Structure 1
Amino acid sequence: MCTVKELTLTSAPHSTKCKVTHNSPALVFSAEGYTGNFFHDFSDGFVPLFITINSLFYNQDVILVISDCNDLWWPQKPQLVFVIRKLDVGRAILNKNEVINAIEEVGFDVNVLDPTTTHTCMAKAFKLVHSSHAMLGVHGAGLTHMLFLRPRAVLVQVLPIGVHLPSNISFKGPAKNLGLEYMVYKVKTKERSLAEIYGTNDLVLENPDAYVNGNYSNMRVYMRTQNLKLDIVRFNRYLVKVYKEAKKFMDMENELSFLFGRPRQNSALL
C-alpha cells in the first residue's frame, strides 16, 4: 500500500478562480495498491468504489477523481503527420505554429515531417508515416510520403490556387488506388499571399488557367511565389471532419488488434 499517495484536501484562496467547476460532489480514490490483475481490480477497486458511492452519494451524480492513474488508461489519440514546406521553395504555411496548435486542439498527436532536411533517412520517415492515422500537407512533392500510409489512413491535401490539375493527377488518383481516405482543403482568396501581391481582382487569382495559357513558366507564380496563411477558424471546422475519419481508422485498428492480438502501431518522432 506504500504506492498509494496520501492526499490532503484544502480550500483554495477566495481570489483563486477555478477554470472548471461542477455542481456534483467529487470522490477521490486511488487506482494503485494491489490493482493490476482482475481479482484486485474488483476487490480493491470497483467493489469498494461501488459501495462508497451508493452509501454516501445515493441517487446522485458523482465526479470521480482518480489518483495514481495509469497512463495506459487514457484514450489513445490519432497520430497525424504534418508535412511542412520551407519559404524558399514556395507554398509554405506562414502560420505553421497556429496550424499545429489547431490540429492538437481537435484531438491529434502531431508529428512534424520536414522532407527537405538532410537528416531524415527513409527508414525513420517510413516508421513515422506508416504508424500514423493521417497525413496533412500543402500540394507538393512531400506528399509522396503517402506511399508509406496504411490503407484507410487519411490523406489531407491543402490546395492552393492554380494547382488543381497536378494535384488530382499526383495525389487524388493515387490516394484512391492506395485505399486512402482522400480529403482536400481548398484555400480561399484571403488565405493566399498572392492576394496581397497582385490584388484580389488580378487575373492571377481570377483565372489561373487564362494567366498560364499554356506557358508553364507562368506556373512559377503558383508553385514558387505563392504561400499560405490559413484561416484557423475555417480550418478548424475542417479538421473536425479529418479527426472523425482518422479516429474511425484508429478504432478499427485497435479492434483488430484486440481480436487478433496484433500490436498497436507506435509513432516515432524524427
Structure 2
Amino acid sequence: MTGDVRIDGNISTVYFVPPPNTFVPKQQEWTFSPQSRRIIQTKNVTVKHLHNLQDVPTCTIKSNVPAMVFSLGGLVGNIWHDFSDVIIPLFLASKPLNGEVQFLIRDFFPWFVEKYTLILKDLSNYDIVNLDKDKEVRCYGHATVGLLNHRDLGIHPDRAFDRFDLFRFRIYMREIYSLPPFWVDLPYKVDPRPSKKPRLMLVLRAGIRKFLNAEEVQEMIKKNGFELMVVEPKKNVNLTEFSKLVDSCDVLMGVHGAALTNFFFLRTNAIMIQIIPYGHIDNFAFWYYGSQALEMKLRKIDYTIIPEESSLLEKYGWDHPVIKDPDSVNARGFEDRMKYYWYEQDVRLNVTRFEPVLVKALQLLKQ
C-alpha cells in the first residue's frame, strides 16, 4: 500500500488512504492473518481502505521508511515453520529494501526475536514494534501487511528478486552466522590429521518419531568409521553456536522432522540422511526436505523404514489398515495421515538393514 498508511497498534488496525486523484470505487475493509500459513489460527489484522483522512486517527509517530506487518503465530516454535512461514518469506519481502524497513509484529514472541536476531537486524535497521502492546498510531508512506511464501520451505526464483534461489539463501545464512564461505570444502576433506574421521551429527527427538534404540544406532554409526555428535536441539538454542556445530559436520542424520532444517548450516556437498517413517510418505519427505537439500547443492540419502521398524506394528498389528494398507489411510486425508504416520509413530531402526546407508555415505565423502 502506498499513500497515507496509519497503523493503530492498540486495535491492530491499518488505515489506508490512497494518494489524491487515485480512483477508489468504494471503501473496503479486510480482516485477515498476516502470517504466510493462513490455515493456522493467529491474531488478525484489519485493513481499512478509506476515501479521505477524516475517519483516521491522528499520527503519534511518523516514519520515512516503509512498514512491514507480520505474525509470529501459528506453528512458529518449530524450526521448520520458523523458516518456512516467517524467515524465508520475510527475507524475500524485505531484503531488497537494504534494511530501510520497519517490522511490526503480531503474536510477538521475545524468544523468536532473540533467537533470530542476527537475521532480523540484517533485514531491518530499525527497532521492531510489538503490535500486541503498541499504543501508538504509526504513520508511513508505504506498508506491506502479511507475508507470502512461494512453497513449503522454498523459493521460486521466477518470483524472487534477482532470481534468488535456495542455494543463495544457504549462502546468505552462512554469511549471517559467520560460517566459512560456501566454496570451502567439507570438514573431513580439509582436516589434515591422518586419523581423521568424517563427523556425523545425529539428531535425536524427545517426543514423536523418536529412535527407540538410539544407543544401538549410535554404536552402528561409530562402527562404520564416523565421529559421532549427538544433539537434541531445543527451541531456544543459540543459533550462532549451534550453526557452527552443524557446519563442523559432514553428515546430518535424523528421522523426518523439523531438526533437519538445520541443513541450512551444512557445507556444499555435505550429506543429509533422512529416516522416513512408515506409511508411504516418501513424497512428503522429498517435498519438505529432500528437494531443498538438492537445490542447496547438498547430497541426500533416504532410508524408508519397514513395518518391523515402526512402533505402529506393535500397536495395531499386521491386519490393521495403518500397516496393511497405508494408501487407504492416506486417502482419508491430512488428519488421519498426520495422526498415524507423524504423531503416533516411533522408530526402532534395524541397524543391519540400515548399515549400507552409512557405507554409501562414507563412500560419497571419500570421493
Residue in 2 that maps onto 1:91: 209
Residue in 1 that maps onto 2:238: 121
Separation (CA, whole Å) in 2 of partners of 1:95 and 1:75? 29
Unaligned 5+ segments in structure 1 are 1-71, 249-270
Go from structure 1 to structure 2 and tell me whether the alpha carbon gap of 1:150 and 1:138 turns closer, same or farther (over 3 Å shift).
Answer: same
Residue in 2 that maps onto 1:141: 258
Amino acid at match of 1:144: T
- The list of structure 1 runs, each at least 4 consecutive aligned residues, that deviate by more than 4 angstroms after superposition, is none
| Percent identity (aligned) | 32
1:177-219 Cα offsets, whole Å, 9 max, x none, are 0111111011111111101111123211222231132432212
Residue in 1 that maps onto 2:308: 190
The alignment's C-alpha RMSD in Å is 1.6
Conserved in 2, the CA contact under 8 Å of 1:79 and 1:110?
A: yes
Q: Is 1:234 the counterpart of 2:353 in the alignment?
A: yes
Residue in 2 that maps onto 1:247: 366
Q: Which has the higher helix share?
A: 1
Equivalent residue of 2:274, what SS? strand
1:25-82 Cα offsets, whole Å, 9 max, x none, are xxxxxxxxxxxxxxxxxxxxxxxxxxxxxxxxxxxxxxxxxxxxxxx75421001111
TM-score by length of 1: 0.61
Separation (CA, whole Å) in 2 of partners of 1:127 and 1:196? 40
1:125-160 Cα offsets, whole Å, 9 max, x none, are 100111111111000011001111111001110011
Q: Using CA pairs below 8 Å that are at least 6 residues apart, which structure has the higher relative contact order?
A: 1
Separation (CA, whole Å) in 2 of partners of 1:221 and 1:157? 19
Unaligned 5+ segments in structure 2 are 1-191
Equivalent residue of 1:147, what SS? helix
Q: Which has the higher strand share?
A: 2
TM-score by length of 2: 0.45
Equivalent residue of 1:196, what SS? helix
Q: Larger Rg: 1 or 2?
A: 1
Separation (CA, whole Å) in 2 of partners of 1:223 and 1:73? 42
Separation (CA, whole Å) in 1 of partners of 2:265 and 2:325? 35
Equivalent runs, 1:37-116 vs 2, <5 Å: 74-86=194-206, 88=207, 90-116=208-234
Equivalent residue of 1:142, what SS? helix
Amino acid at match of 1:199: G
Conserved in 2, the CA contact under 8 Å of 1:77 and 1:108?
A: yes
Equivalent runs, 1:28-43 vs 2, <5 Å: none
Deviation of 1:166 (Å): 1.9
Separation (CA, whole Å) in 2 of partners of 1:246 and 1:126? 21
